[in-house]
Amino acid sequence: MLLLEHAHEALVRLAGELAERGESRLPTERVLAERLETSRTTVRKALDRLEEDQVIRRVRGRAGGAYLTGVSPQAAVDGSRPLCHGHGILRSLNTVKGIPEILHEQGFRDGTTVISAGLEAAPARVGRALGLAEDGRVVALQRLRHADGETLSLERMYLRTELVDLLGTEMKSVYRTLRAQFGVQICVADESIEIATLSTLEAALLHQPAGTPVLKLERTGYDQLGRAIEYSVDLFRADRTRLHVRSQSPVTPRRM
């Protein structure tokens, strides 16, 4: 039953995303089952619920499938078309949190694939960010993040070598592991954001065409003692990610 509930919640979000984009046809049961990492039977039951709630209608035959009811394309208020739909993942720049925690808070099922992990010579920019000697080494991790079974981001993380024992953990949620097992908490992060395009290798990992625009976030993380502990480069799919930041101007007492 829990698997069915997760599949139903994911399909409700997908329906909202498609409606935001003015699209009416859902992917096939096979594609949905692969994306959600569940059985076609579970997907079929979740679709049954959507049909009972009149969210979708099913069409039989070779050109058939599941379609959203009452969806008509419409332009955004300002005439532009946002690349990310309204139900994408919200990445707040106001707090320091790991991706699994962010996804859980927003009701998404998180997933992590560790592509590579080990010790290596620190690239020049990483060495500068972490204050290492020219021949310094770092713990290097490359991970692929998923939300509801679909790719979200590709991350390259570098950590100081005193955290080498991290390589003996599952490396799914590094921030949580650092807190629980090493007594290290990333409290402050300096981040820069720019638009980049995917290389052929990056595109293959994210299941996107080469040259697709992504949000590139470069981050230096500092622990509770103010030490630079982490340097990361994250490539977030722009069609699945929205950024949020709250800015505040200092207020000085004055007569209006």
Tokens representing 115 are 């592509």
For the domain 2-68, what is the CATH code? 1.10.10.10
Tens-digit pLDDT profile for residues 77-87? 344 555 665 55
The fourth-level CATH superfamily of domain 89-244 is Chorismate lyase-like (3.40.1410.10)
Residue 196 has pLDDT above 60, yes or no: yes
Strand ranges (E), the chain = 56-59, 65-68, 89-92, 110-121, 137-147, 150-160, 188-197, 213-222, 228-237, 241-244
- Give the list of residues 6+ apart from residue 124 with CB closer than 8 angstroms, or none: none
Q: By the 8 A CB rule, do 242 and 149 touch?
A: no
pLDDT band of 155, cuts 50, 70, 90: very high
Q: Which whole number is the average pLDDT over 1-20?
A: 82
Q: What are phi and psi of 144, to 5 degrees?
A: -110, 130
pLDDT digits (tens, 9 = 90+) for 13-25: 888 877 777 778 8
Instruction: List, for residues 97-120, the tens digit of each pLDDT value.
Output: 888 888 888 888 889 999 999 999
The secondary structure of 216-246, three-state, reads EEEEEEECCCCCEEEEEEEEEECCCEEEECC
Given the structure tokens 């807190």, which residue do they identify?
179
| Beta strands at 188-197 and 150-160: parallel, antiparallel or unpaired | unpaired
Domain boundary assignment for the chain: 2-68, 89-244
Q: What is the pTM of this model?
A: 0.69
Report the length, in residues, of the chain: 256
